[in-house]
Structure formats: C-alpha cells, structure tokens
Copies of this chain bind each other. A is one copy, B any other.
Amino acid sequence: MAANLDRLQRSVGYQFTDRALLEQALTHRSFGLPNNERLEFLGDSILNCVVAIALFERFGELREGEMSRLRASLVCQDGLHGIARELDLGEYLRLGEGELKSGGFRRPSILADALEAMFAAVFLDQGFDAAKTVIDRLYAPLIAAIDPRVAAKDPKTALQEYLQGRKMALPTYTTVKVHGEAHAQEFEVTCEVNALKIRTTGRGASRRAAEQQSAENALAQLRKS
C-alpha cells in the first residue's frame, strides 16, 4: 500500500483502533486472503440501514416506496464510486498483479466494494454508531442535495419531467407481451426514448407496474451516461 493510511483516515474522519481491519477492507480478492469480499456484504447492509435511517428521519413526508427509490439511488455503485473518488480510495487499494495492470484501482465496482468494506471495518472496529457517523458524514452532501419533491416522484413522472426539461419528445411505452392466466398475469413493456437511443424493458403484475419498471430502467441508463 503505497499511500499513507493516515491521510485516508483523516479524509474519512475516523481513526481505526485496529488498523488491520482497514487494510483488509482495502484488499481486493485478486491480492489474496484476507480480502474485503465478506466485509463488503456486511458493509452493504450497514450502509443500507444507515441511509434508511437518514431518509426516515429527514423526510417525514415521504412514503415507503419513495424512500426505497431514494435509497436505491444513493447506495448504488455510482453513489459509492463518487465518494470513493473523493477519498482517492484507489490509491490505497491492494490489488493483484492482473487487476493492477488493467487499471483495477479506477474500476467503479472495485472502488464501491472497497468503500462498503470500509464501512464494515469501522463497524467491527467500534460498533454501529461509529459506522453510522462515518456514513452520515460522507453521505451528507448527497442527502442535502435531495429535493424530495423531485426525488420522490414515480419513475414515469421523473422521466417525463427530465425529457420535458430538455425539450425532448416524451417516451413511448409499448406492451410487448402478456403472459400467465387472468389472476396471475405478467406484463412486459418497453420504454423508448428515441432522442437518447434508450430502449428498456420492464415487467410487472400490471401494465402500470411494468411501465414504471421500464421507466425506472431508462432513468438508470440516463444516470449511467
């Protein structure tokens, strides 16, 4: 690990009692054992929980589905990757030879996993409240930037408003398949945004649910691009 872990700990705002936990969190499986694979599972759970608490406390007016959507947008790989980049996390990673050569220290999934693993390392080092403090601090700018009136919109509405704001034509929803018997039908719907060359599919137990799912997938593609 070339870079100085003290600098990382200052950026994160947390000093590890057991520094070996931090080192493990920064170790990709390509480097050998112990690595951060199991820590990532634990860290992902802690992150989801802490972000749920933050949304619950902050946005009393949001309903369950709205909070779920908001959380998904915050804890996704993109969100984690952005924070990992701010921390220069790539500089501290321990990667195997192959990953090192292929630029693994810049790969969003590797960075996101290491950040989640670090949350677990803080939890194992000092408990839930310490992990919560670290996550709350790193996520504060993202959570402060949320406009609940926008973020909580259902995916079809959010997509429509995004396109209207850019003077683009509205998406076309097409039901391409319905299967199952009357009491347990499944709908398959495509959502096409011609101006952006996006075409996604959604499934659901109703046409409306399938459309929302396809719009959600289109929004996910937009966020990636």
Contact = CB atoms under 8 A, between A and B. Distances in A.
Interface of A: 37-38, 40-42, 44-46, 48-49, 52-53, 56, 60, 62-64, 67-68, 71, 120, 123, 128-129, 132
Report, nearest first, the 10 A-B pairs whose CB atoms are least far apart.
A45-B52, A49-B49, A41-B64, A45-B49, A42-B56, A128-B128, A37-B64, A41-B67, A45-B48, A42-B52
Given A38-B60, A40-B64, 16 more contacts: A37-B64, A38-B56, A38-B62, A38-B63, A41-B56, A44-B52, A45-B49, A45-B71, A46-B49, A48-B48, A48-B49, A49-B49, A53-B123, A56-B120, A128-B128, A128-B132
Looking at chain A's contact residues, the main secondary structure is helix
A42 B48 CA distance: 10
A45 B48 CA distance: 6
Nearest to A56: B42
Contacts of A67: 38, 41
Nearest to A64: B41
B41 A52 contact: yes
A45 B41 contact: no
Nearest to A47: B49
